[in-house]
Amino acid sequence: MMAMLLRLLCALAIALPGTRVRAGVAAIEPESGAPESGELESGELDAAPPVTTEPAPAPDEGPGTADAPSTAPGNTGDKIYEQLVKEFRTRFQAGRLAFNRGSYTQAALEFEAAFAAIPAAAALSNLALAYERAGDHVAAAQAAKRYLALPACDTPDVDPDFCGSQREELQRALDRLMRQVGRLTLSVAAGVRLRQLRINGRLTSQQDFPLLVEPGRIDVDMLGPRPDDRRHRVIEVRAGEEQQVLVEAFDVGRGGRDPLPTTRKRGRWLRPTFWTGLGLTAASASALVVTGSLAVIEKRTFEREQELWNREKAALLEMGSQENPKRPYPIEHDRRFHRYRDVSNALTGVTAGLAMITAVIGLFAFTQPRNRGTVRASTLLRAQRVVVRHELRWLGAGVAGRF
């Protein structure tokens, strides 16, 4: 009975409409049939034989088995097999449809469920492709590694639908993906016990290392056996870069307590200062616009009246007099113009200075300070009650900090 079930399980590389299948891999292509450049390749595959859901006939077990109940082990196994086949078909088809719609994340979830039902290589290769199209390079690399862990097709008694028949293709995909992700390794000093380790807030086992991570800021939280054994460090990982997280012994200060790392808090006074500076800058800019406009108006008025006086000096008597303040002499417009111009020039400098200072304050107020334990080559998780010594040195395009 088990041998017949194994044969049926080996026929599960399904040739779905619009999907190309090969022995061990069914890599989905777009509707046009042309694979996207830079991703898993696709080729023509031999169509697998149709999967049957008919239960295999039970072997003759001799007299006394004719009245066996329907819950006999053989019948139960057949029902479980039928459910697995149905689940695989449903999930695989749903993944193909989601992929063709461009819902690559949903397609990856469906292919993952299909592989959980039947561990066929076709679902696993499609899983890597869907994650890569979705932009999740870490998950795509992990799926490619799982595919490469499948037995080789030249292994005796292995079915081609459950072996890695396209190892070279998946290896090329993995090499490409590894250049787009970061890699963390863990080194724990002798005698050090870790109660809990979190990477970016996610509980991580020591057995998960080497760990693939997205490039960027990585938060490492470590807890020791004692309640006060806590460490937090931040490291920066570039694409294609490997960094080591080195965990040394927890150093105990006087009184049996380990000094907890303190984080410098910004924003308590920087952010209110930033908003105050922003308001002052806006007010100064508004005053600059007003005084500048008045200066332009007074200058044009003076030039117009001066031109009128040059054409007809007699009209000067009608332009105003000291006894008529509403219509002063033309020279008064020139005096006002120079006064407004001087104020505008002063406000220009004030506005520029306020804007620059406000921008610098905002840069510090809305960014998080880097952790003092960040090192480019490796991250040393330690906290000692000693005087901190700072040293900065240039390393190519970046700056390494030693503390």
* Domain ranges within the chain, ordered by starting residue: 2-59+70-178, 182-264+374-403, 270-365
3-class DSSP state for residue 46? coil
Query: 106 and 98 in contact (C-beta within 8 Å)?
Result: yes
Is the model's pLDDT at 162 over the cut of 60? yes
Q: What is the pLDDT of residue 264?
A: 53
Give how far Cα 1 sits from Cα of 7, 55, 61, 73, 76, Å: 10, 10, 11, 10, 12
User: Out of 50-64, 92-106, 139-153, which region has the weakest mean confidence (pLDDT)?
Assistant: 50-64
Q: Which of 7-16, 171-180, 313-322, 362-371 has the lowest mean pLDDT?
A: 7-16
Choose between 316 and 401: higher pLDDT. 316
**CB-neighbour burial class of residue 45 (10 A; exposed 0-12, middle 13-18, buried 19+):** buried
Judged against a pLDDT cut of 60, whether residue 167 lies above it is answered with yes
Q: What does the pLDDT read at residue 189?
A: 80
The dihedrals phi and psi of 68, each to the nearest 5 degrees, come to -65, 140
**Separation CA 201–CA 221 (nearest Å):** 8
pLDDT, averaged across the chain: 69
Instruction: Report whether pLDDT(45) > 80.
Output: no
In angstroms and rounded to an integer, the radius of gyration of the C-alpha atoms of the chain is 38
Can you tell me the distance from the alpha carbon of 209 to that of 11, in angstroms, rounded to the nearest whole number?
35
Cβ partners under 8 Å of residue 135, min gap 6: none
Using pLDDT thresholds of 50, 70 and 90, give the confidence band for residue 109: very high
Residue 57 CA to chain centroid, in angstroms? 52
DSSP notation for 232-291 = EEEEEE-TT-EEEEEE-PPPP-TTS-PPPPP-PPPSTTHHHHHHHHHHHHHHHHHHHHHH
- 8 pLDDT band (50/70/90 cuts)? very low
The model carries a pTM of 0.47
Of 3-7, 113-117, 196-200, 225-229, the range with the lowest mean pLDDT is: 3-7
Query: Span 348-365, mean pLDDT?
Result: 88
For residue 196, what pLDDT is reported?
82
What pLDDT shows up at residue 385? Answer: 33
CA 263 vs. chain centroid, Å, equals: 24
